[in-house]
Amino acid sequence: MGSERVAGAEDAHSKSWHRAARVAGLSLAAAFAAERERWRLFVPAAFGLGIGLYFAWPSEPAAWLGAAALAASLPILLAGRRWAPLFLLGGALAAGATGFLLAQARTARVAAPVLGRSLGPAVVEGRLIAAEALAAGERLIIEHPVIAGLSPAATPARVRVTLRRPLPGLRPGLWVRVRAQLLPPPPPAEPGAFDFPRQAFFQRLGAVGFALGQAAIIPPPPAAGAGALSDRATLLLHGIRHDVSQRIFKVLPGAVGGMAAALTTGERSYVPERVQAVMRDAGLAHLLAIAGLHLSLVAGGLFFMVRLLIAAIPVLALTGDGKKWAAAVSLLGAFLYLLMSGAAVPTQRAFIMTAAVLLAILLDRRPVSLYLVGWAALVVLAIQPESLLQAGFQMSFAAVLALVAAYEVWGSRFGAWHQAAGPGRRVALHLFAIAFTSLVAGLATAPFALYHFDRFVTYGLIGNILAVPITAFWVMPWAMVAFLLMPFHLESLGLIPMGLGIGAVIRVATFVAGLPGDVILMPQMPQAGMLLLVAGGLWLCLWRRRWRLYGLLPIALGLATIALTPRPDLVIAGNGRLLALRQADGRLTISPGRGNRMAVETWLERDGAARAAPWPLDGATTDGTLRCDPLGCFYRRHGILVALPVSEAALPTDCSLAQIVVSRVPVPGQCHSARLVIDAGDLARQGAYALYIAANGRVRVENVAGYRGLRPWSMPPARQFRPDSPPGGPATASGATTPGGTTAADGATTATAASR
C-alpha cells in the first residue's frame, strides 16, 4: 500500500513537471509568434554564425562544401513557405551557408604566398603603399616586391619592413629599395592567443622584417606600368591621407597633432603609445577610432550648414527642397570622409547606417534602426567575412545594437522629457543622455574588451561624460573647418582651435586614467564564454517583449567562464628560450631574457597579471616550486616533476628523474622516466605549448599547431634553433625569434612520447 502511494506521488510529480514544461513551451511559442516582425533580425546572426563556423573548422573545408550546404538549404526554405518553423529553419540554414560560402570565396581570393623561412639579408624593391610612424623609426608596407633569392611564384604580395629612422620624402606610390631581414608573420605566443598570421593573410601580408641600413627611393621599373584603376585609386587615397597628416603636423606637432591625424585620416600610428594607453585606460579609445560619433558629426554638421545656407538664399529656399539637397551633400561628405579615414570596419558600419538614413530622406522613407544595423552588418561581413573576428567589428556593432535597443525602450520617454523641459533642464537632460549612452555602450563593449584585451575600465563613464562633449561640440566642428580650408592652405585657422580641444581631451584622459583602480585586469575569457555572451546579447537586444530578459542568463554564464576556466601551469615559447611557470600562489614567473617582449606581454595579459614574479637564476623560488642551476631547472607542480634542461649535459639526469622534460635542445634516444617530452623538434613543428597540470596529476597538453588546425594562414611555426647558444638557464633569450625551415605541421595536440 505504501509503495502504491509512493508510486502515485511520483507519477503525480512527473505529470506536474510535464504540465509545467508544456505550459512553458506554449508560453515561449506564443511569445515567439507574437514577435514575428523581428524574426528577420536574426538573419545577420545566422549569416555571421556561418562565417564563424568556417573559421572554427579544424582544417580547410572542401571548396564545394559551402555551395553544397546552400543548395541543400534551398529546398527546405521553399518547402516551408506554408509552415513557419520549417521556413525559419531553411532561412537560417541558407543564411549560414551563404556566410560560410562567402568566407571560403574571400579566402581563395586573397590567397598569396607566405614566406616559409627566415630570409636575409636580402634586397627588397617594390612600391610603397603605406608608411606608418613609430616611436622610433617608420614601418613601410611594400606591395609587388621583388626580393633577391625568391622566385616570383614564392614572393609575397606584400611585405612589411621596419626602418630604424624615418626616410624623408616618403609617400605612398613611390618605389623603394631596402636591405632587410625578412621573417614569416610570427605565430601566436600561446595556443588561443591573437593569431597575427591570420590577420596578415587577409591583408595579403606574407613577410615582416627589419631594415639593415636605410631605405632609398628609386625610379619605378620600366615594366611597372600604371597599374589597375583600383590600384591607382587606392594609391591616390593613401597619398592624400599622407599629405593631410603631414600638413596637420606642420601646425600641430607632437601628441596633439597625432590625435588630430587620427581623427581626420584614421592614422592612429601617429598617436604616441603613452597617449593611446591613457585614452584606453580612461575608456576613451573609441575617440581614436573613426566610427559612428565622428561620421555622424560630419554628416550632421554638413546637413545643418547646407540647410542654413539654402535658407539664407531666398531663390533656393523657394524653388528647391533644402532638406533633400542637404541630405545629398551630407551623403557625399560622409563618403569622402569614409575614404579619407581609411574605411576601417567601424567606419564602414557607420557610413552604411548614415547613408541609409540620408537615402531615406531623399526617398521620403523612414528607416527602421535595428534593421539598419542588421543590413550594415550583412554588407560589411559580405565584403570582409574575416572582420567578424576583429575587435573593431564586434565592439562597434555591439555598441550600436545595444544603443538602438535601449532607445527603443527609453527613447520616447527622453523625447517627452525634452519637450516639457526648460533651457536649463534641457542641458541637464543632454548630459544625462551622454551618460546613459556611455553606460549602455560601455556595458555592451565591456565583454569584448575582456575577451580581446583582458581588462575592464572602471571610470569609463566619467571619461566619456567629460570628453565626448568636447569632441562633439568643439574638436570635430573645427576639424570640418580645417578640411574645408585646406584647398586654400588656410587649415591652420581650424587646426589651432581643434588642437586646443584635443589637448583638453588628453588632459581628461590623463586625469581619469590616473584615478586609483582605473583598470581591472582579468584572466582570459574562453571562446565558449564569448559565444554565450554574444548569444545572450542578441537575445536581449533583438526581441521586444519581456522574454528578452532570458538573455541575461547566458550573459551571466559567459562571464562566469572567466573564473571557471583554468590557466596553463607551464607555457613554452615557440623558440624554446622563454617559459612561464605558475607558482603555488597562482602567480606566473617568467624566465629572464630580451627579444620576446610580445610573448611576455601576451602571457601576462591573458593571465590577468600586471607583472611576473622573479625567476631564480641560481637557486629556488620562495615557495620551492622552481629550482635552477647553470644546467637548467626543475619545476614541481601537483606532484609532477618537470625538467627544463638548457644543455645536453643535463639530459641524462633529467631523463632519469622527471615525469615531463621540456628541452630547447634536441633529446636523442629515450627518456626512461618521462611520460612526456617536448624538445626543439616538437617546438619547431608545433609552435608554443601550454601545459595544464591538474591536482590529480593528469596533464593536458595544447600547442599552437593543434589549436589552429591546417588552414591557409596557419603556416608551420618552424624555428631555427642554435644549440650552441650561450647557457645561463632556460630563459636565456637571444633576441627576436628567427623562423626557419618549412616542416609541415601535423596538427597533433600531444608532444613526442617518452618511448620514442
- Please give the pLDDT value at position 594: 66
Host H or E run for residue 457: strand 455-457
The H or E element that residue 753 is part of is: strand 752-753
pLDDT of residue 716: 55
Q: How far apart are CA 636 and CA 611, in angstroms?
A: 22
Continuous segment of H or E residues that includes residue 582:
strand 579-582
Residues of 92-121 as b/e, b for ≥16 C-beta within 10 angstroms?
bbbbbbbbbbbbbebbeebeebbbbbbbbe
The verdict on 637 and 695 lying in the same domain is yes
Q: What angle do CA 656, 662, 663 make, to 5 degrees?
A: 95
Within this chain, do residues 612 and 731 fall inside the same structural domain, yes or no? Answer: yes
Q: Evaluate whether residue 227 is within a structural domain.
A: no
CATH number of the domain to which 143 belongs:
2.40.50
Distance CA(420)–CA(411), nearest Å, equals 14
User: Does 435 map to a domain?
Assistant: no
Instruction: Decide if 436 is inside a domain.
Output: no
Q: For strand 640-645 and strand 660-662, is the pairing parallel, antiparallel, or unpaired?
A: parallel
How far apart CA 166 and CA 215 sit, in angstroms, is 9
d(CA 493, CA 482): 7
Q: Do both 213 and 132 map to the same domain? A: yes
Tell me the whole-structure pTM to 2 decimals.
Answer: 0.84
Asked if the bond preceding 121 is cis, omega within 30° of 0, the reply is: yes
**Residue 739 β-bridge partners:** 719
Asked if residue 576 and residue 604 are part of one domain, the reply reads: yes
Predicted local distance difference test score (pLDDT) of residue 742? 29
- Looking at the structure, tell me whether residues 587 and 716 fall in a common domain: yes
Burial class (CB in 10 A: 0-12, 13-18, 19+), 508: buried
Give the DSSP per-residue string, 212-244: SS--EEEPPPTT--S--HHHHHHHHHHHHHHHH
- Shared domain check, 146 and 40: no
Q: What is the extent of the structural domain holding 69?
A: 35-110
Residues 253 and 381 in one domain: yes
Domain-located, residue 349: yes
Report if residue 418 sits inside a domain.
no
SS (H, E, C) 609-665: CCCCECCCCCEECCCCCEEEECCEEEEEECCEEEEEECCHHHHHHHHHHCCEEECCC
Q: How far, CA to CA in Å, does 406 sit from each of 351, 413, 537?
A: 21, 11, 12
Residue at which a domain ends, from 564, 588, 622: 564
**10-residue averages of pLDDT along the chain (756 residues):** 55 66 74 84 94 94 94 89 84 95 96 89 91 82 91 93 87 90 93 94 94 89 64 75 86 90 83 90 84 76 83 72 83 84 77 83 73 89 93 88 89 77 78 83 89 90 89 89 89 93 94 91 92 94 90 94 92 90 92 80 91 88 90 92 90 90 85 87 92 92 92 64 32 30 31 32
d(CA 433, CA 181): 53
Q: Quick one: 735 and 587 in the same domain?
A: yes
Residue 334's identity, in one-letter code, is A
One-letter amino acid identity for 476? M
* Number of helices (H), then strands (E), in the chain: 24, 20
- Map residue 290 onto helix, strand or coil: coil
Say whether both 313 and 360 belong to one domain.
Answer: yes
3 and 98 together in one domain: no
CA 740 to chain centre: 28
Assigned domain for 313 exists: yes
In a domain, 273, yes or no: yes
- The CB-side HSE value for 349 (13 A sphere, CA atoms) comes to 28
84 within a domain of the structure (yes/no): yes
Domain check: are 325 and 468 in the same one?
Answer: yes
CA nearest to 486, candidates 313, 268, 260: 260
- Coil vs helix vs strand at 199: helix
Q: Are residues 252 and 381 in the same domain?
A: yes
- Domains held by the chain: number: 6
